[in-house]
């Protein structure tokens, strides 16, 4: 097992020993670890406190950038849809993971698998109701302001 994955798994093990979930992540650029994270749901009561999210936040803050293209995420478990979406937004093009979403599901960590399945459905069939409410003609649309600014 490669050094970065070993570290991600080590972080996950430490997190379990401290009462957390078995997820650790390491963000790497040019052969160097730039940030790490573990799930902090049990400490912070923050559903976005996933290992990958924390590693991304730390790197973005440290380097004052939203662009993490050229970085590789190493994760002890296959990223959930939220973490994967964050990686898309940050420009991360490579993710290396150890345990699959199916393995996590079998271990009793069911949310990621269920969300992936739900997202594969048509909007009308998903668990969360999505209702579009367009702005009225009298309201300024934020996207129009954005276009003018860009």
Task: Check if the beta carbon of residue 112 is closer than 8 Å to that of residue 80.
Answer: yes
Task: Check if the beta carbon of residue 117 is closer than 8 Å to that of residue 127.
Answer: no
Task: Check if the beta carbon of residue 80 is closer than 8 Å to that of residue 87.
Answer: no
Answer left, alpha or beta for residue 19, where phi above 0 means left and psi between -120 and 50 means alpha.
left
Task: Check if the beta carbon of residue 5 is closer than 8 Å to that of residue 96.
Answer: yes
Does residue 122 have an active-site annotation? no
DSSP codes, 9-64: HHHHHHHHHTTS-S-EEEEEETTEEEEEEE--HHHH--TT--HHHHHHHHHHHHHT
Can you read off the two tokens belonging to residue 87? Answer: 């990686």
**Other beta carbons within 10 Å of 35:** 22
Among residues 10, 18, 36, 52, the one annotated as catalytic is 52
Q: Which residues carry out catalysis?
A: 52
């Amino acid at each position: 097992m490669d050094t970065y994955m070993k570290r991600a798994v080590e972080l996950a093990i430490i997190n379990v020993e401290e009462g957390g979930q078995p997820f650790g992540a390491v963000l790497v650029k040019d052969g160097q670890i730039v940030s790490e994270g573990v799930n902090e749901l049990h400490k912070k009561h923050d559903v976005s406190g996933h290992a990958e999210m924390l590693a991304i936040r730390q790197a973005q803050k440290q380097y004052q950038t939203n662009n993490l293209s050229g970085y590789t995420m190493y994760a002890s478990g296959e990223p959930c849809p939220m973490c994967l979406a964050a990686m898309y937004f940050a420009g991360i093009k490579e993710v290396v993971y150890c345990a699959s979403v199916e393995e996590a599901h079998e271990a009793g960590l069911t949310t990621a698998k269920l969300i992936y399945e739900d997202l594969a459905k048509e909007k009308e069939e998903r668990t969360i109701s999505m209702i579009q409410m367009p702005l009225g003609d009298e309201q300024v649309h934020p996207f129009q302001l954005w276009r003018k600014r860009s």
